[in-house]
């Protein structure tokens, strides 16, 4: 792996050993932001002064008593729907061009308490949906593997910033795949935790019963380190789970021997046939797990469209409820894509919503029964490489089955991990999911695959880095 761009765990080890200072590391990231941000549009706001102040503070603390966590002195970014005290939080919308929160979101405060260095607020889609849009006050983020390509959304800036090394880790949100989609298309690791594990207090809602907050980083280990700081009960979030937080790094390095890996072949072969590169990645993952001593089990579920339809209908109605007043008062301030979704929400009936909730309970029960016999389930992260950014369908993810929504609907933890590259040199990924609050085994399985494959050795060509030997 190139030492020009460090992972969180690599940087933490160097900082702990006194071989790297948070100030030096922060300046490295600021230099890359200066060089690549004009092309990537990964940031809405770069908090340069705050970053340098955070770095100096971390450096002084570490010199005095050593690092208090593996994140101490690590440069990170936050998706720009996460409230930050005294820092513009736009939600990528004309409605919020002057919105400066008075308090931090719980997740932002948790990372601050862990000693991170805040580099800025990262590009999203408007209120975390509806992109890429070219009629908003800020441009959409670009994929660092090819700046003419889409990042997926809505945690688009986080995906781009991590892939390009502008930050070492970042926070995304995920209502139907908004962490895992950018992770898949930008070639990084993205973890959507169990519903209720990470507080959403202070984060702009997308859909109340589907929203999740989670880490995005270059490696599975880095996501585990971030999750450790983020997880925990918060009474400010009504959905927050009051349960003990385990050590999410404990299973890393244990491999996959003895794990049962369920495979959902129907979803990627029949329900939404994936591109050859994605299929090859899934097949290689199955072979890799078998070689590591895991047992492969074929599992059966309802058509992926059943999960997608219920999930996106619920999401649509709940988005409409969240932003109804804005829509009635100032519809012209929304971009066209998001306005279309709010109009669609207004056409949905209460009876339709209840039926979707009823179907959700049935699908949760079905998924729980299927998962009872396996540790993790394996499917596609995304159906193909990143498409051209100007060719993303207006109703992207609404007109075809979606590989990620099922795990929002069921509240299960899920992670996307790189599994190769397509014919255009763009990343593809597998997705793993586990039973609710099964993050430890999920991270173990993802880490085992990651360690057995070479996909963490290559960064986007625009960075001018050589592949690791």
pLDDT of residue 394: 82
Torsions phi, psi of 205, nearest 5? -75, 150
Report the DSSP beta bridge partners of residue 203.
82
pLDDT band for position 399 (cuts 50, 70, 90)? confident
Tens of pLDDT along 232-243?
Answer: 999 999 999 999
Mean pLDDT of 189-209: 98
pLDDT of residue 131: 86
pLDDT of residue 4: 81
Counting other chains too, the contacts that 132-139 makes at CB distance below 8 Å and 24 or more residues apart are 132/156, 132/389, 132/392, 133/92, 133/335, 133/336, 133/337, 133/338, 135/335, 135/336, 136/92, 136/93, 136/94, 136/335, 137/90, 137/92, 137/93, 137/94, 137/97, 138/41, 138/44, 138/90, 138/92, 139/41
Q: Are 183 and 399 in contact (CB under 8 A)?
A: no
Whole-number Å distance between alpha carbons of 196 and 185: 26
Given 21, 93, 154, 156, which residue is catalytic? 154
Tens of pLDDT along 83-138?
Answer: 999 999 999 999 999 999 999 999 999 999 999 999 999 999 999 998 899 999 99
Give the pairing type, strands 295-298 and 414-421.
unpaired
pLDDT of residue 80: 98
Instruction: List % helix, strand, coil for the chain (3-state, nearest 5).
Output: 40, 15, 45
Clarify whether 178 is annotated catalytic.
yes
Torsions phi, psi of 426, nearest 5? -105, 150
pLDDT of residue 333: 97
Round the average pLDDT of the chain to a whole number and report it.
Answer: 96
Mean pLDDT of 418-439: 98
* Domains of the chain, each with CATH number or no CATH: 8-234+245-463 (3.90.1300.10)
Given 9, 79, 156, 199, which residue is catalytic? 79
Q: Are 192 and 223 in contact (CB under 8 A)?
A: no
Given 141, 155, 178, 199, which residue is catalytic? 178
pLDDT of residue 3: 45
Residues listed for the chain: 469
Torsions phi, psi of 169, nearest 5? -160, 165
Report the DSSP beta bridge partners of residue 378.
263, 432
pLDDT of residue 318: 98
Q: Are 21 and 6 in contact (CB under 8 A)?
A: no
Structure tokens at 157: 């800036």
Provide the 10 A C-beta neighbour count for residue 438: 18
Mean pLDDT of 454-461: 96
pLDDT band for position 332 (cuts 50, 70, 90)? very high
Burial label, 358 (beta-carbon count in 10 A; 0-12, 13-18, 19+): exposed
Report the DSSP beta bridge partners of residue 380.
430
Clarify whether 21 is annotated catalytic.
no
Strand order in the sheet with 189-192: 43-46, 117-122, 75-79, 169-174, 212-217, 189-192, 414-421, 427-434, 376-380, 260-263, 295-298
pLDDT band for position 397 (cuts 50, 70, 90)? low
Instruction: Please indicate whether residue 398 or residue 465 has the higher confidence score (pLDDT).
Output: 465
pLDDT band for position 2 (cuts 50, 70, 90)? very low
Clarify whether 154 is annotated catalytic.
yes
pLDDT of residue 467: 58
pLDDT of residue 317: 97
Tens of pLDDT along 5-59?
Answer: 999 999 999 999 999 999 999 999 999 999 999 999 999 999 999 999 999 999 9
Burial label, 170 (beta-carbon count in 10 A; 0-12, 13-18, 19+): buried
Tens of pLDDT along 262-317?
Answer: 999 999 999 999 999 999 999 999 999 999 999 999 999 999 999 999 999 999 99
pLDDT of residue 1: 33
Instruction: Please indicate whether residue 397 or residue 191 has the higher confidence score (pLDDT).
Output: 191
């Amino acid at each position: 792996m190139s030492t020009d761009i460090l992972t969180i765990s690599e940087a933490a080890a160097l900082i702990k050993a006194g071989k790297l200072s948070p100030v030096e590391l922060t300046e490295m990231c600021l230099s890359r932001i200066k060089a690549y941000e004009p092309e990537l549009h990964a940031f809405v706001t770069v908090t340069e002064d705050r970053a340098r102040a955070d770095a100096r503070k971390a450096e002084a603390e570490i010199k005095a008593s050593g690092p208090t966590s593996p994140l101490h002195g690590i440069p990170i970014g936050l998706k720009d729907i996460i409230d930050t005290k005294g820092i513009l939080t736009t939600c990528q919308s004309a409605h919020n061009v002057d919105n400066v929160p008075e308090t931090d979101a719980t997740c932002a405060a948790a990372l601050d308490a862990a000693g991170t260095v805040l580099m800025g607020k990262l590009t999203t889609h408007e209120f975390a949906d509806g992109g890429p849009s070219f009629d908003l006050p800020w441009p959409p983020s670009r994929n660092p593997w090819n700046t003419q390509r889409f990042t997926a959304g809505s945690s688009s800036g986080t995906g781009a910033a991590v892939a390009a090394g502008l930050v070492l880790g970042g926070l995304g949100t995920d209502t139907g795949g908004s962490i895992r989609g950018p992770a898949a298309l930008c070639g990084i690791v993205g973890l959507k935790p169990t519903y209720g594990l990470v507080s959403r207090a202070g984060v702009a809602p997308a859909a109340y019963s589907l929203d999740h907050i989670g880490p995005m980083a270059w490696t599975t280990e880095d996501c585990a380190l971030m999750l450790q700081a983020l997880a925990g009960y918060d009474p400010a979030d009504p959905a927050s789970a009051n349960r003990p937080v385990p050590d999410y790094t404990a299973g890393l390095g244990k491999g996959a021997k003895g794990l049962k890996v369920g495979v959902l072949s129907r979803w990627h072969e029949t329900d939404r046939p994936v591109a050859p590169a994605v299929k090859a990645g899934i097949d290689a993952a199955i072979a890799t797990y078998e070689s590591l001593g895991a047992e492969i089990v074929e599992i059966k579920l309802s058509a992926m469209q059943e999960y997608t339809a219920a999930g996106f209908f619920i999401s649509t109605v709940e988005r409409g409820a969240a932003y109804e007043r804005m829509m009635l008062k100032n519809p012209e301030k929304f971009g066209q894509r998001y306005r279309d979704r709010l109009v669609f929400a207004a056409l949905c009936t209460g009876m339709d919503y209840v039926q979707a909730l009823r179907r959700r309970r049935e699908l949760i029960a079905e998924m729980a029964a299927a998962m009872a016999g396996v540790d993790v389930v394996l499917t596609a992260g995304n159906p193909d490489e990143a498409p051209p950014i100007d060719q993303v369908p207006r109703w992207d993810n609404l007109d075809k089955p979606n590989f990620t929504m099922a795990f929002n609907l069921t509240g299960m933890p899920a992670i996307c991990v790189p599994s190769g590259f397509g014919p255009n040199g763009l990343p593809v990924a597998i997705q793993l999911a586990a039973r609710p609050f099964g993050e430890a085994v999920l991270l173990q399985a993802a880490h085992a695959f990651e360690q057995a494959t070479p996909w963490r050795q290559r960064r986007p060509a625009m960075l001018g880095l050589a592949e690791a030997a």
